[in-house]
């Protein structure tokens, strides 16, 4: 994953996007977990407990925002606000695509990517 240009707040937001991608099709593959862990390891947290608390909250947010396409769209629109430039939005979308490429459920992955591309205006 290319995290160049992301500040810690944007990395945390990217993590939310990746976690929702991980849960989108219900396939919680180890490869996805490894990619998410690689992002987490680049964020400076004040303590291990703060890191764990953030991760738990991210997984909770993801599960809460997969109830319907509109709920997912609203969450993705909120995420998009944290990425002010086209370049950083494209990088975030590319990272999501990379994460989703680790499994074979193209339909649900494609639906999420379509929402992200629309809300990110890509």
Banded pLDDT at 48 (limits 50, 70, 90) = very high
Q: What is the Cα–Cα distance from 1 to 61, expressed in whole angstroms? A: 22
pTM greater than the 0.95 cutoff: no
Find the range with the poorest average confidence among 16-20, 83-87, 97-101, 118-122.
Answer: 97-101
What are the residues whose beta carbons fall under 8 Å from the beta carbon of 46, sequence distance 6 or more?
A: none
Per-residue pLDDT tens for 57-110? 998 988 888 878 899 999 999 999 999 999 999 999 999 998 888 766 667 778
Could you tell me if 8 and 43 are in contact, meaning their C-beta atoms sit under 8 angstroms apart?
yes
Per-residue pLDDT tens for 25-41? 666 666 678 888 888 88
């Amino acid at each position: 994953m290319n995290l160049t240009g992301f500040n810690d707040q944007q990395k945390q937001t990217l993590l939310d996007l990746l976690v929702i991608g991980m849960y989108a099709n219900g396939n919680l593959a180890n490869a996805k977990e490894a990619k998410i862990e690689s992002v987490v390891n680049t964020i400076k947290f004040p303590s291990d407990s703060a890191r764990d608390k953030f991760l738990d909250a991210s997984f909770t947010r993801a599960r809460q925002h997969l109830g319907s396409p509109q709920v997912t769209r609203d969450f993705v629109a909120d995420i998009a606000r944290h990425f002010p430039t086209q370049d950083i939005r494209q990088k975030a979308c590319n990272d999501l695509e990379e994460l989703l490429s680790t499994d074979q459920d193209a339909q649900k992955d494609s639906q999420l990517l379509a929402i992200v591309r629309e809300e990110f205006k890509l």
